[in-house]
Structure 1
Amino acid sequence: MLIMVSKSRLANDAWEALLTAHAVLIKELDAQDVWDGISMREYDVLYTLSKCGGPIRPSELHRNVLLSQPALSRMVDRLVERGLVERTKDAQDGRSVRLSLTDLGADRQRAIGGRHAVGVSRTVGATLDPDELRQLESICRKLAARNTHDDQRQ
């Protein structure tokens, strides 16, 4: 007996599985001893800034991290106080600021990032074979590309 499952049901089941996997992996990665006094969310900000070609506006940073704008502003304040992030005036708009890593912030990001990459490899690589890892990357990039396309349409 063949049971037909609707695409809507499949999409919702896949979404639930994705969220559950994300929660489990984040808890496991967060518990690893790699963070050196920086929270995983703070590391996310440092990592995001490290991928940028130069100083970026806070709104650009906000688009790429999973924090509310107020929480991100408070976190940036703390990272500035700790000497990991710096604010500079925007050369094109003197009322705005741009954010970038300091040398210390870049050094911390690289050191933590190397240990974190090993942890990700152990955690995710222990469960998935190389073909599954390629499939997962392809699927995630395809889903993430929707955001890029949606931003372009607005």
Structure 2
Amino acid sequence: MDQPARIDVRLANEAWESVMSAHSALMHTFAAEHMWSEISMREYDVLYTLAKHDAPMRMCDVQSGVLLSQPALSRMVDRLATRDLIAREADPNDGRAVLLSLTPAGRSLQQQVGRAHAKSVARQLGAALTPQEMQDLRSLAGKLTGGGGAP
């Protein structure tokens, strides 16, 4: 019977630290850019998560796509709904659940900010990585998230 490969704890932690340091540096750069005047990065994250789905989403499904606690997400949803960027409706299959979707204003703002953010991401990653390295990064990150790294 094959023995499992021994994991190099130091190497694994150095790799993790590198991922987190890169994330921190990039987020700091992105946060300083002009596109966040109408919406915060965290609010955009919620709009982006909703935009990736054709159908309304339950709050718990949105939460799995963003880095917010349930109470923080609930407060943010309230603020975004007050600003008419997202709509809430009762889930017809579960009266206790709420479905969230983008309003036309929310979709428009997400697309406007998203275009600027996408250019910023391309500029930052393109300055540091070759196209092959970006493909490798996408594949490796996909493996870490269980997605297999497929496009």
Q: Distance in 1 between matches of 2:119 and 2:72?
A: 28
Residue equivalent to 1:12: 13
Q: Which residue of 1 aligns with 2:3?
A: none
**2:127 equivalent in structure 1:** 126
Higher strand share: 2
| Superimposed CA distance per residue, residues 41-98 of structure 1 (whole angstroms, 9 cap, x where no aligned partner) | 1000000000012111100011110011111111111000000011001011122210
Q: Distance in 2 between the 1:145 and 1:17 partners?
A: 19
SS across alignment from 1:89: strand
- Show structure 1 runs of 5+ residues with no match: 1-5, 147-154
Match of 2:82 in 1: 81
Q: Is the 8 A contact 1:36 1:112 kept in 2?
A: no
Please give the secondary structure, in 1, of the residue aligned with 2:101.
strand
Partner of 2:31: 30
CA distance, structure 1, for counterparts of residue 88 and residue 120 of structure 2? 31
Cα separation, 1, equivalents of 2:31 and 2:18: 20
Q: Quote how far apart the aligned CAs of 1:144 are.
A: 1.0
The count of aligned residue pairs is 142
1:69 equivalent in structure 2: 70
User: What is the SS of the residue equivalent to 1:73?
Assistant: helix
Q: TM-score, normalised by structure 1?
A: 0.88
Residues 49 and 61, structure 1, Cα contact 8 Å, conserved in 2: yes
Question: Which residue number corresponds to residue 138 of structure 1?
Answer: 139
Q: Distance in 1 between matches of 2:117 and 2:91?
A: 32
Q: Percent identity?
A: 50
Distance 1:94 1:55 in 2: 15
- SS for the counterpart of 2:146 is helix
C-alpha distance in structure 1 between counterparts of 2:58 and 2:131, whole Å: 37
Spell out the pairing of 1:41-120 with structure 2 (5 A cutoff): 41-120=42-121
The letter of the residue matching 2:104 is D
TM-score (ref. length: structure 2): 0.90
The aligned amino acid for 1:140 is A
Of structures 1 and 2, the one scoring higher in RCO (CA 8 A, sep 6+) is 1
Q: What is the Cα deviation at residue 124 of structure 1?
A: 1.2
